[in-house]
Amino acid sequence: MTLSKKTKIELISEVKKLQRKIELLKKNKTSVPTQFETPTNIFKSTKWESYFAHSENTVVAVDSKGIILDINKLAKGTKKENVIGKSAYSFVDKETLKTMKLAIASVFKSHKPADYKSKRIDEKGNSFYYSTKATPVIEHKKVVAVVLEAKDVTQAVLIKQSLIESEEKFKKLSDSAFEGVAIHKDGKIIEANKALYDTFRYTEKEIVGKPFLPFFHPDYHKKVIENIKNKVETPYEVKIFRKGGEEVWVEMLGTEIVYKGEPARVVSIRDITRYKENEIRIKESEENHKHFLQEIPSGVIIYVDSIIVFANKAAFEILDLKQRELGEVKSINIFNYILPKYQKEIKERIERVLNGEILPFWEIEVQTPNNEILDIEIKSKGILHNGKKGIQTVFNNISYRKNAEKVLKESERVLSTLMNQLPGMAYRCELDDKWTMRFVSKGA
């Protein structure tokens, strides 16, 4: 429609429409805050400018729809124009998406900051974790944008995940172990496995979170405390109380660990009651055996690693030991009495006996502390002494017999010499059952 063709009424109507538009524009101009002519205007015109420019963390400004208005840091190789105007939701994984939308919506609605965790996966599949704080930008009492400050916590998250995985593996291993396992910190049990509950006959609720010392016999409190303080990592034996007050022998082995990011101590506890009872029986048996050995006339010694741990009365007398009282034999080495020419063979025989071989009687010479040389006859066998491999040797002093044999041989030599000097044939009558006449010489 041209102006010449318009009627007066139409012109008036057109003017009124224009006036209404002008009034509407004027009204909007006074009620609407300054719009983002460029994404950075918000930070150039507000208190956020310095914070945005100097923050060590990634700072992103988004609108109510999550569209990125500005960003202070970019990943290597990323251009700013390829990020601004894009949805911030496209840079997070699906797990984070819902949490992030709820946080931003909450800030726009409540005008209050909100915190949330987020995760991003790059093109190579690497995961990055962030702790994000969403803060409102308010102008004219209205939230015009939300600033997201994302702190990279990837290293901390990975460490935590590693600890959790390690703890889960430890839990699986400890639960499958036959020995009791417990973790304690600051004097309290913070974790334990099923085998430990079975050993103590308590439930999980009765053990976890409780002080550990009352579970041990008072006689061993000091020992347990000192071993923890000194971080002892070698086995030791103590008594514990089972539910009901029963005393039980256990072997403990502890070591220092990091549990849930904090120092702690893990201990394995093995019930050794049966072994201790057997040990007592063996000891009683050994005592009875030693009592019996005291009464026999032959010398008896028991030695472990070549050190004499027992000698009966006859042994003290034969060897002329100065430590007459039994039980006073200390650090006496059997090789102190054996002449050098026999020592190599003795060592070989000891090895054979310890390996279970049965050897016949053997005659050797020994030297007493008074430097007297004795001929003895020995017989040895392997035994267990206080749970250790040892050797029990029975011996007799055969010096008189050996001397008699020497005298007899000398007599026979002299007799033979005399016989050879006699004229004629000489015979010797041997006193056997046949009265055998043995030819001695044919005479001089």
**What is the Cα–Cα distance from 378 to 346, expressed in whole angstroms?**
11
User: What CATH number matches the domain at 158-271, 3.40.50.920, 3.30.980.10, 3.40.50.720, 3.30.450.20?
Assistant: 3.30.450.20
Task: Give 170's pLDDT tier (boundaries 50, 70, 90).
Answer: low
Measured in whole angstroms, how far is the alpha carbon of residue 232 from the centre of its chain?
Answer: 12
Percent of the chain with pLDDT strictly greater than 70 = 72
Over residues 403-432, the mean pLDDT reads 63
User: Is 158-271 the same fold as 41-152?
Assistant: yes
User: What pLDDT does residue 201 have?
Assistant: 92
Model confidence over 327-364: pLDDT tens digits?
455 578 888 888 999 999 999 999 999 988 878 778 88
Spell out the SS3 assignment of 343-396. Answer: HHHHHHHHHHHHCCCCCCCEEEEEECCCCCEEEEEEEEEEEEECCEEEEEEEEE
Greatest mean pLDDT range, 29-33, 218-222, 249-253, 354-358: 218-222
Task: Give 226's pLDDT tier (boundaries 50, 70, 90).
Answer: very high
Instruction: Tell me the Ramachandran region of residue 35: left when phi exceeds 0, alpha when psi lies from -120 to 50, beta otherwise.
Output: beta
Task: Give 423's pLDDT tier (boundaries 50, 70, 90).
Answer: low
User: What pLDDT does residue 314 have?
Assistant: 86
Helix (H) or strand (E) holding 416: helix 399-421
Task: Give 217's pLDDT tier (boundaries 50, 70, 90).
Answer: very high
Q: Look up the CATH superfamily of 277-397.
A: PAS domain (3.30.450.20)
Residue 279 has pLDDT above 50, yes or no: yes
CB 299 within 8 A of CB 374: no
CATH 3.30.450.20 at 41-152, yes or no: yes
User: What pLDDT does residue 29 have?
Assistant: 43
Q: Whole-model pTM?
A: 0.40
Tokens of residue 33, six digits? 């805050």
Model confidence over 367-417: pLDDT tens digits?
888 888 998 888 888 888 877 889 988 888 888 877 877 777 777 666 666
User: What pLDDT does residue 36 have?
Assistant: 39
Residue 436 has pLDDT above 90, yes or no: no
User: What pLDDT does residue 213 have?
Assistant: 94
**What is the Cα–Cα distance from 142 to 137, expressed in whole angstroms?**
8
Residue 86 has pLDDT above 90, yes or no: no
For the chain, the structural domain boundaries read 41-152, 158-271, 277-397, 402-441
Strand order in the sheet with 373-385: 307-311, 299-304, 388-397, 373-385, 362-367
Residue 430 has pLDDT above 70, yes or no: no
Lowest mean pLDDT among 84-88, 385-389, 427-431: 427-431
Model confidence over 127-165: pLDDT tens digits?
888 888 998 988 888 888 888 888 888 888 877 777 666
Quickly tell me which residue has 């139409």 as its tokens.
Answer: 10
Residue 19 has pLDDT above 80, yes or no: no
